[in-house]
A and B are shown apart, each in its own frame.
Chain A
């Protein structure tokens, strides 16, 4: 007869879900939301810096001037820069939405995933640009992974309040929100 406690069956410590940990997690989510809120402030329409070669246009152009990943450089050069106003509005609306949804913790996992996508796009634009600190962008990606892994909107967030409501509903929107919160 084998011994009941083997290495494989060894108990694993649960994550700390105490009040302090939950408060810290909520604070991280709000701070990440504020990161996007603050960064919505300098993407200025209507031309987003295209005429003066500044702002969002300058940072997006880095993908061409200081390439990181050739297919992405091609995409920016041939698709993004020729349609820059449309792209600028897309970025502004996405980042403002990321800020708003992450600050209140609504559909947190969905918006954290979008935050990863946007962080990757930023990384591929500016990683090789002068005076950039690469770990800024790696940490941006990592912190969004944490928000997804911990379902951070359920702690002091709107997701925590609405999930029981969504669970009682059989509608497709409620089911979707239950999945992405």
Chain B
């Protein structure tokens, strides 16, 4: 299993684990990331696309996973503390979604370079 594939699965697992925060008591000692029902949907979609990307070794799907996560992070950062707040999260939600977006974006970049190196070996 390549590093890109492993990384894709690891980020998908992280997204699924973060879903558990929706059940966590509302205390800062436990709830590191604010997760609401709409955020659960986003996390599960990112995890599903990311896992599919890893399974199929698809850089396109990696880019899609990154795009969804980054778009949700930007939306959350823009609406945090305002009305409407469609995702219902806060800055921690934006930061975590941003991490998933950065991670999948980096995996897309690494995967694309690996494909190029295979197509044009030096």
Q: Footprint of B on A, CB under 8 Å?
A: 33-34, 36-46, 92-93, 95-97, 99-101, 103-104, 106, 156, 158, 160-162, 165, 168
Residues of A with C-beta under 8 A to B34: 41
Residues of A with C-beta under 8 A to B3: 160-161
Q: Is the CB of B103 within 8 A of A158?
A: yes
Out of A96, A156, A165, which one reaches B113, CB within 8 Å?
A165
Would you give the shortest CB distance from B87 to chain A, in whole angstroms?
13
Out of A44, A99, A156, A158, which one reaches B95, CB within 8 Å?
A99
Closest 7 CB pairs of A and B: A40-B91, A41-B92, A96-B95, A100-B98, A99-B95, A100-B99, A104-B103
The residue of chain B having its C-beta at the shortest distance from the C-beta of A103 within the complex is B99
| B49-82 contacts to A (CB < 8 Å) | 73, 77, 80-82
Q: Is the CB of A40 within 8 A of B103?
A: no
Q: Is the CB of B91 within 8 A of A43?
A: yes
CA distance A162 to B114 in the complex (A): 11
Interface centre among A39, A44, A93, A100 (most CB of B within 10 A): A100
Q: Is the CB of A38 within 8 A of B92?
A: yes
Interface centre among A38, A46, A92 (most CB of B within 10 A): A38
The residue of chain B having its C-beta at the shortest distance from the C-beta of A40 within the complex is B91
A-B contacts besides A97-B95, A106-B106, 18 pairs, CB < 8 Å: A34-B32, A34-B33, A36-B95, A37-B32, A37-B99, A40-B92, A40-B95, A41-B34, A44-B81, A45-B81, A96-B94, A99-B96, A100-B95, A101-B99, A158-B102, A158-B103, A158-B107, A160-B3
Where chain B touches its partner, the secondary structure class is: helix
Hey, what's the 0/1 contact readout for B95-113 against A, CB within 8 Å counting as 1? 1101101110011011001
The residue of chain B having its C-beta at the shortest distance from the C-beta of A102 within the complex is B99
CA distance A93 to B115 in the complex (A): 34
Q: Is the CB of A158 within 8 A of B7?
A: yes
Q: A104-B103, A161-B7 are in contact. Are A38 and B94 (CB under 8 A)?
A: no
Residues of B with C-beta under 8 A to A92: 77, 91
B28 at the interface (CB under 8 A from A): yes
Q: Is the CB of A95 within 8 A of B99?
A: no
Q: Is the CB of A104 within 8 A of B102?
A: yes
Would you give the shortest CB distance from A107 to chain B, in whole angstroms?
10
Q: Is the CB of B92 within 8 A of A37?
A: yes
Q: Is the CB of B90 within 8 A of A44?
A: yes
CA distance A46 to B73 in the complex (A): 17
Out of A45, A97, A104, which one reaches B106, CB within 8 Å?
A104
Would you give the shortest CB distance from B86 to chain A, in whole angstroms?
16
